Amino acid sequence: MPEIEEMTEIEIEYEALLTQLRENDIDGFREDFLDLHTYEQSEFYSDLEEADRDLLYEVLSPEEVSMFFDSLEIDDDEAYDELFETMDARYAAEMIGRMQYDNAADILNKLPKSKVTTFLALMDRADAAEIRSLLNYEEDTAGGIMTTEFVSLSSLMTVREAMRHLKDVAQDSETIYYVFIVDEKRKLVGIMSLRELIVADDDEYIGDIMNERVVSVFVSDDQEEVAQIMRDYDFLALPVLDYQEHLVGIITADDIMDVIDEEASEDYSRLAGMSETEKTSDTSWETAKKRLPWLVGLTFMGMITAGMLSFFEDTLAQVVLLGAFIPLIAGMAGNTGTQSLAVVVRGIATGEVDASSKVKLVFREVGSGLITGLTCGTLIYLIILVMYQEPTLGMIVAFSLFVAMTVATFIGTLIPMFMNRIGIDPAVASGPFITTGNDIVSLMIYFTLANIFMAALL
């Protein structure tokens, strides 16, 4: 449906729901609300004011609330804390316990320690144990995004037994579209899709028809790597192993869609020199507060450039026209450097750039810097010759542009590679810092050349 119309339609429904809730039309509200998709329920819920939320908890069971909490997306960690301020602790504990375990762990990770302890203590013991096991993993790893609610079977079952088992556990599993076959020591020995199960003959043994070539990840593997594997193989679910190769969880496609989006947005924000915590709903103050650390840092870097240029004050005083080309040279070096940076950052993120292709890529980038630098340099020489009739100035600007663009590709390629080597996410080598760094280097080249050829300019 076209987005505009759909939005309006659903907004009218939300309004009607709010009226029912406030006027205490419990049956009407429950009927209409529970008829919504859980994503829509979560959207309705996250727009509610505190008083209305409290009303909601009175008319919905913890289990009903847990359904849409699984879909709830709130970027701001503090906001989660506020949600639980007015929710009864017992109610909250039961609600969280009934969420999908991976989502429950994600929420608990955002709450203060004291609350986590309280909720886990009040929760059903089995649920608490499952969730606690997930809390131990780093947020950005396979362990941090996996869920423990998967279907595991024995290889000694027949297809018929497997299907019956699936029917029983379907409600408690995040996905039943892949089943995982484990041996008596919980080691993963095979995998089958539900499609294969459905097509198979009822009396066959799982062990005879399962796929024994299983692609899996370890709990500590980075989520970006996991996303890459799922994308490449088009998996809907991927098994996660601990270091004894026990099957401890699975990662499902819906979680991975979020990861792909998250990682790409992160890289994008960094290229623009922003914090990834920025939200479009932030106020001017909040936005300014998040951007200021970057901008203040860049102001200081800008002062380094200014300090260096004031060192060349005499040169500039003698040939004032030199100043007119400062933005051009600094800007072009910044642009080519950012291009190289972007290639390396995305290449590392998608796994296209690895140890073997690194050296090749440096040569490729510098080669492209030489070619583009030569082209733009020649162009600028001709323009200056025609517009200003200053062949020497033209030579200096052109040669500086050529050298600066080449060096910029080198810097733009090497810095993110170096950061990756020493274990820092190369995306933090943000665009603006590379640009400002290239300002300094390129202008140094420009004024040094100008100084050397000064005699010819006067």
d(CA 164, CA 198) in angstroms, rounded, equals: 12
Query: Scanning residues 425 to 444, which ones bind a second copy (CB under 8 A)?
Result: 431-432, 435-436, 439, 443
Span near a second copy by CB under 8 A; candidates 18-26, 76-84, 323-331, 416-424: 323-331
Token pair for 220:
């500590």
26-34, 61-69, 108-116, 341-349 -> range binding a second copy (CB under 8 A): 341-349
User: Does the protein bind a second copy through residue 194 (CB under 8 A)?
Assistant: yes
Q: Is 451 in the site for a second copy (CB under 8 A)?
A: no
Binds a second copy (CB under 8 A): choice among 331, 392, 449, 453: 331
Cβ-based nearer residue to a second copy, 21 or 271: 271
Structure tokens at 453: 């050829």
Contact string 274-313 vs a second copy (x = CB under 8 A): x---x-x-xxxx-xx--xx-xxx-xx--xx-xxx-xx--x
Number of residues that bind a second copy (CB under 8 A): 123
Residue 119 or 435: the one with the smaller Cβ distance to a second copy is: 435
Among 129, 172, 388, 428, interactor with a second copy by CB under 8 A? 388
Q: How far is CA 159 from the centre of its chain?
A: 40
Give yes or no for residue 203 binding a second copy (CB under 8 A): no
Q: What is d(CA 105, CA 108) in angstroms, rounded to the nearest whole number?
A: 5
- Beta-carbon count within 10 A of 175 CB: 18
What one-character DSSP code corresponds to residue 422?
A: T
Q: 140 to each of 67, 134, 286, 309, how far by Cα in Å?
A: 24, 12, 25, 44
Q: Is 138 helix (H, G, I), strand (E, B) or coil?
A: coil
Task: Indicate whether 370 belongs to the interface with a second copy (CB under 8 A).
Answer: yes
The single residue among 12, 79, 136, 363 that binds a second copy, judged by CB under 8 A, is 363
With a CB cutoff of 8 Å and minimum separation 6, the contacts of 255 are 102, 145, 147
Q: Which is nearer to a second copy, 74 or 264 (CB)?
A: 264
Helix (H) or strand (E) holding 190: strand 188-193
How open is the CA angle 440-444-445, to the nearest 5 degrees? 120
CB of 86 to a second copy, least distance (A): 26
Is 391 one of the binding residues for a second copy (CB under 8 A)? Answer: no
Cα 181 to chain center, whole Å?
Answer: 32
Site for a second copy in 169-188 (CB under 8 A): 170-171, 176-177
Nearer to a second copy, 123 or 162 (CB): 162
Give yes or no for residue 14 binding a second copy (CB under 8 A). Answer: no
Gap between the Cα atoms of 119 and 121, Å rounded: 5
324 binds a second copy (CB under 8 A): yes
Phi-psi region of 231 (alpha: psi -120 to 50; beta: other; left: phi over 0): alpha
Q: Give the residue with the Cβ less far from a second copy, 69 or 84.
A: 69
